[in-house]
Amino acid sequence: MTCADAGLPWVGRELANSVDLLLVCDGPTEDLSQRIEQALPDLTVRLQVVGAADLDRPIPPNTAAIVALESVAATVAAVERLTARPTAGPVVAIAPAGDGDLAAVERAGAAEVLMRAELDSRVGCRLLGRVVADAQWIDRLDEWKAIAREASQRFDELLDRHADGILVIDPTGLCLYANAAARSLLAAGDGDGVGDLAGRVVGIPLAGDDTLVDAPRADGSLRALSLKVTEMMWKGRPVRLAALRDLTGSTAAEAQARQAEARLAAVLNTMAEGLIVADGSGTIRAVNPATERMTGFAAADLIGGPVERLLARGLAPEDAGGGGGTATGGHPAWQEADLQCKTGAVVPVQVATAAIAEPGAAAGSPQSRTCVAVLYDVRDRKQAEASILAAKAQADVANRTKSEFLANMSHELRTPLNAIIGFAELVRDQAFGPDAAHRYADYGKIIFDSGQHLLQLINDVLDMSRIEAGSYALNESTVRIGQMVRNCFVMVGMRARSAMISLIDDVPDDLPELRADARAVKRVLQNLLSNAVKFTPPGGQVTVSAGVEADGSLRITIGDTGPGISDDAIPLVMTPFGRSQRNSARMRGGAGLGLPISANLMQMHGGRLHIESTPGEGTKVHCHFPADRVNQTLWRRP
């Protein structure tokens, strides 16, 4: 479904499966809008139509764009302006009518250059869908970045609301951060403001155990504070983290501490990402519920066990930013890994690991270091990447099939058409005079035969299209195989006699009747006999045999004494327009549709067709009809 907005910029998406799409056009847009709607049936497209002169207006970030202008120069200029933006989305260019340097459009930054008619094809639809999917993934990445920023802000808010005072002090004693509790606890009665701590030098003891300090109140009395100092990394630099707790009202302070711990636990328990806490020896000390959901393990099954039970490579020190808790810029580095589940399945995840040095612990002991790993499930992203690659592979196959079709049919159609036109011109102009009637009669026969050949080619193509589209319906009746084989012998007999090829009928007279589409069965036999005669050298023979198998199915075999087909070429000749090495020179004609059509017609009857061939000895093609199509009442088993 496609909807149009009144102006730029858009406010934002209202649906998860919607996408913003900019159409730059200098002509009628109704036809293009309909084609875009058909190409993206599963999305709600917020379509904004503008002219080339309106590109100075604000455009939302990462918006996919379609440029459909009348000239190549205008198209190149529009693509360059759209892709020059820092947050530019992918651009699809519709090739202008007439000649022009379309390569310049690609050099200007277009992700795809499509002909206007290609929007009606499956390939064009897939390419446009891939570009729109790229825009969606870019938007998704921006959303993730926004979520990360919001998480950082929420973390700062959480620290600021913490009941304990928290100070971050650099090695020179300069206060880098102080939360609201710290400003309140250290506010004295001499006029110092509660917001004046950051940027001031604060004297605190070195890192160590809890220390009791006295802080003056506004009324001159002293407040007993517990001070604990820890060395750590803060935004890429070494600092001392000072935690202050008011012990004057121990009961209230303990209650606040419990409340803060409960809030922190609530945050960890509601995280969508998995969380693993391990000590320096790689032993798991804690996991959150998201990890339990991702792996299927209960927390009790994991705590005390090795991290390698979940992550084969464990939590290496280099993954944790060298032990300082950060990689670059104060943020953990994301790396891909495989998460082992209880069922034995493997889930692809991204892992961000941070390491925290524990003060007071003996250096090198397992307690001297704590590793925290955040796990992000990337299965959906992997599946999307696989879908995009599969769509590209299908598009490549479709493009190759189209090229093969044009290469084959251009030759096969031109040959009879040239014969028809050439000999018709000789007859029309009476090139050999009015008395050469016998020549003109021969030319008329050539024209007729060429027309019949051309009609057969067109029928093959149309029948293959109907079969692939599922619109070919069987008209079933009672079929006598022996009679049908003899009728087909008559049709190929003249060609076989002219090539001095013997046709051998080895079909039993008492063969049971078959319930099938007589026209389809005749088409199969005619295709296989025609191929056998075509590729059998002079003096050879073509044999047709039939019989009922032990399982009650009916088998028809067409064998020849031709050059045969190699095993690796058999799958090729069974594909539309496929040719084996023996007829690659086009000396025998044919579009390469006889065997694929025959195989599909057999499948529609519930049967099968397979080839048995030995190079230099000949080929046998076996057609098997299922037992439920054979009238067994008229058959006497030998």
Q: Which two tokens stand for residue 270?
A: 């509601």
CA gap 365, 358 in Å, rounded: 10
Band (310; pLDDT cuts 50, 70, 90): confident
Band (402; pLDDT cuts 50, 70, 90): low
Number of Cβ within a 10 Å radius of residue 242: 22
β-partners of residue 559 are 543, 620
Given phi > 0 = left and psi -120 to 50 = alpha, else beta, which region is 469? alpha
β-partners of residue 75 are none
Q: CA dihedral in degrees (157, 158, 160, 161; nearest 10)?
A: 120
Query: Would you state the pLDDT for residue 621?
Result: 92
Inter-residue contact 311 to 335 (CB < 8 Å) = no
Instruction: Say which CATH architecture domain 273-377 belongs to.
Output: 2-Layer Sandwich (3.30)
Closest to 63 in 3D by CA, of 43, 41, 46, 42: 46
Length of the chain: 638
CA gap 585, 577 in Å, rounded: 14
Instruction: Say which CATH architecture domain 2-144 belongs to.
Output: 3-Layer(aba) Sandwich (3.40)
Number of Cβ within a 10 Å radius of residue 43: 20
Query: Would you state the pLDDT for residue 499?
Result: 84
Angle at 528 between CA 526 and CA 534, to 5 degrees: 95
Inter-residue contact 570 to 611 (CB < 8 Å) = yes
How far is residue 537 from each of residues 501, 502, 589, 590, measured CA to CA in Å? Answer: 8, 11, 15, 17
Number of Cβ within a 10 Å radius of residue 467: 18
CA gap 391, 132 in Å, rounded: 13
Q: Give the domain ranges of the chain.
A: 2-144, 161-267, 273-377, 384-469, 476-634
Q: What is the mean pLDDT of residues 291-308?
A: 85
Query: Would you state the pLDDT for residue 99?
Result: 64
**pLDDT per residue as tens digits for the range 418-444:** 778 877 877 787 777 777 777 778 778
How far is residue 318 from each of residues 220, 283, 324, 332, measured CA to CA in Å? Answer: 51, 17, 10, 11
**What does residue 608 show for φ and ψ, rounded to 5 degrees?**
-155, 160
Inter-residue contact 485 to 522 (CB < 8 Å) = no
Query: Would you state the pLDDT for residue 5?
Result: 45
Query: Would you state the pLDDT for residue 565?
Result: 86
Single-letter amino acid code for the residue at 242: A
CA gap 506, 558 in Å, rounded: 10
How far is residue 624 from each of residues 43, 520, 550, 592, 607, measured CA to CA in Å? Answer: 46, 14, 12, 22, 5
**pLDDT per residue as tens digits for the range 42-97:** 677 777 888 877 787 777 777 788 888 888 888 888 888 888 877 777 888 888 87
In this structure, of 303-312, 464-473, 499-508, the range with the lowest mean pLDDT score is 464-473
Helices 379-429, 122-160: axis angle to 10 degrees equals 160
Q: What is the mean pLDDT of residues 537-555?
A: 90
pLDDT at 385 over 70: yes
pLDDT at 205 over 80: no
Q: What is the mean pLDDT of residues 131-143?
A: 61
Band (384; pLDDT cuts 50, 70, 90): confident
Q: Which residue has the tokens 């190549």?
A: 72
CATH topology of domain 384-469: Helix Hairpins (1.10.287)
Number of Cβ within a 10 Å radius of residue 176: 16
In this structure, of 213-222, 439-448, 506-515, 539-548, the range with the lowest mean pLDDT score is 213-222
Query: Would you state the pLDDT for residue 545?
Result: 92
DSSP-based three-state secondary structure for 324: coil
**pLDDT per residue as tens digits for the range 162-202:** 878 888 888 888 888 888 888 888 765 444 444 567 778 87
Query: Would you state the pLDDT for residue 626?
Result: 92
Query: Would you state the pLDDT for residue 11?
Result: 40
Output 472 or 178, whichever has higher pLDDT. Answer: 178
CA gap 21, 587 in Å, rounded: 52
Q: What is the mean pLDDT of residues 210-214?
A: 74
Q: What is the mean pLDDT of residues 301-329?
A: 64
DSSP-based three-state secondary structure for 229: strand
Highest-scoring range by mean pLDDT, 238-247, 277-286, 543-552: 543-552
Inter-residue contact 536 to 502 (CB < 8 Å) = no
pLDDT at 298 over 50: yes
Number of Cβ within a 10 Å radius of residue 505: 12
Query: Would you state the pLDDT for residue 585?
Result: 37
pLDDT at 578 over 70: no
Output 133 or 584, whichever has higher pLDDT. Answer: 133
**Mean pLDDT over the full length of the chain:** 76
Q: Which residue has the tokens 């495989």?
A: 338
Which segments within 307-451 are labelled E, that is strand? Answer: 334-340, 346-357, 369-377
Output 532 or 118, whichever has higher pLDDT. Answer: 532
**What does residue 432 show for φ and ψ, rounded to 5 degrees?**
-105, 20
Query: Would you state the pLDDT for residue 192?
Result: 44
Query: Would you state the pLDDT for residue 321?
Result: 45
**pLDDT per residue as tens digits for the range 490-521:** 878 888 888 888 888 888 888 888 899 888 88
Band (12; pLDDT cuts 50, 70, 90): very low
Given phi > 0 = left and psi -120 to 50 = alpha, else beta, which region is 418? alpha
Query: Would you state the pLDDT for residue 323?
Result: 42
- Which DSSP state fits 68? E
Query: Would you state the pLDDT for residue 622?
Result: 92
In this structure, of 46-60, 129-143, 255-269, 496-510, the range with the lowest mean pLDDT score is 129-143
Q: What is the mean pLDDT of residues 557-569?
A: 87
The CATH class given to the 476-634 domain equals alpha beta
Helix (H) / strand (E) containing 514:
strand 514-517
pLDDT at 4 over 80: no
Band (134; pLDDT cuts 50, 70, 90): low
Output 6 or 58, whichever has higher pLDDT. Answer: 58
Query: Would you state the pLDDT for residue 625?
Result: 93
Highest-scoring range by mean pLDDT, 33-37, 278-282, 529-533: 529-533
- Which DSSP state fits 26? S
Instruction: Say which CATH architecture domain 161-267 belongs to.
Output: 2-Layer Sandwich (3.30)
Highest-scoring range by mean pLDDT, 218-232, 250-264, 306-320, 543-557: 543-557
Inter-residue contact 155 to 228 (CB < 8 Å) = no
Residues of the chain with pLDDT > 70, as a percent, come to 74
Q: Do domains 384-469 and 476-634 have the same CATH topology?
A: no
DSSP-based three-state secondary structure for 567: helix
Inter-residue contact 273 to 376 (CB < 8 Å) = yes
Closest to 616 in 3D by CA, of 582, 583, 591, 589: 582
Inter-residue contact 368 to 390 (CB < 8 Å) = no
β-partners of residue 49 are 23
Output 92 or 628, whichever has higher pLDDT. Answer: 628
